[in-house]
Amino acid sequence: MLQDTTEESKELRPGTIEISLRNEADAPIAGALVTLGILHNTVAKGESREKVARVTDAQGKILFEHLETGSAVAYRVSTARDGATYAATPFRLGPAMGSKVVLHSYPVTSDVDRTLVVGQAIVYAELKEDRIQVQQAFTVFNFGKTAWVPKDLLLALPEGYTALTSSQEMSDIVIEPVEKRGAAIRGTFGPGRHDFEMKWQLPYSGDKSVTIEAPVPPHMAAARVIVPAAQSMQVDATGFPKPQSRIDASGQRVLLTERQLNRDEPALKTVRIELSNLPTPGPARYVVTLTAAVALVFGIVLLAIGRTTDARGRLRERQSQVLSDLEDLERAYLAGDVGPKTYERERRILIDRLAEIVATTGNPVASRA
């Protein structure tokens, strides 16, 4: 497989970058537009970006001179071809010599079946207080000399999913949320390895069992499922072996299963996971809500009683703020923006503050007029 390289060269003066653009046969590409991205990052001026574009000569080369050196400036060489983008790893120029960059550009197809693309997936599903968080990591290998640029590739997520985010560090693969549908995958899968991941959530209302349909990109030939599990929880991944109990690096018990497809098996399209025998919430959740409501009413009553002197003005302001925070917390909890544990912890802190104010004055402080 052809390799893109960036190497310092004593043949080049400091502040110089020589770019050599080549095709899938490792032959020079003449007359192609190449972009040099420049990232400035200093404490005094912050971050700024600029781009300089030039065309390769008959030997497929470009020479950039009189560039800044040192750790405050980073460079990235890229080129486009038929809707695909190819880029070298970002680098910096040292003070003693310049750098040579070799970048390859490949023919493009949007049909994954015309490529030698194969991948593997990891699905990590974790049960939270009021939601199930799913993290998916993908590794895609392209063993051919044709780049795959997906067209209208959508990973359809289950109905009701929320909080779709992605990690795009060190990757040109972009995951874009499509409202109420899922994740659109965009980018160039050129020859080599590509890693990307995404996270999303499903609401959880305390059912004894839950089914998760986690979509995967085309040509996934292997997958692993990992679920942190309580002692009684059971996990079943359709088509996978029975999960085995493991202890992860943090000392937590997880259930793990993985599957490697044979050549005659169709590629995975989704990973279906059933979580069963889940711990259901007891009456504590409703007790917390009732207690909070009583505390809120109690605080409002305190506000409505009596008058304060000017000496208690600061206490009155503190009490008003605490009650306002309690109201905001209650609204956030009812809207589902705050989970039960966070809700209970913050409520206790606010009630303690309110009790401290009352204890300081010996009498209820005055209301907000």
Average pLDDT for residues 258-280, to the nearest whole number?
89
Q: In this predicted structure, what is the pLDDT of residue 335?
A: 63
On whether the CB atoms of residues 109 and 115 are closer than 8 A, the answer is yes
Residue 252's pLDDT is 86
Tokens (6 digits) for 223? 């997958």
CATH superfamily for domain 5-105: Carboxypeptidase-like, regulatory domain (2.60.40.1120)
| Range from 52-66, 168-182, 249-263 carrying the lowest mean pLDDT | 168-182
Q: Is 221 helix (H, G, I), strand (E, B) or coil?
A: strand
Q: Which residue has the higher pLDDT, 197 or 334?
A: 197
Q: What is the pLDDT of residues 40-51, one digit of tens each?
A: 988 777 889 999
Does domain 112-276 fall into CATH 2.40.128? no
- Is it the case that residue 295 has pLDDT exceeding 70? no
Tokens of 209: 């069992």
Give the residues across from 6 on adjacent strands: 101
Cα distances (angstroms) measured from residue 132 to each of 92, 100, 212: 42, 48, 9
Q: What is the pLDDT of residues 306-321, one digit of tens each?
A: 444 454 566 677 777 7
pLDDT more than 90, % of the chain: 62
154 or 354, higher pLDDT: 154
pLDDT value at position 73?
94
- Give the Cβ contact number of residue 345 at 10 Å: 12
Each residue's pLDDT tens digit, 176-193:
999 999 999 999 999 999
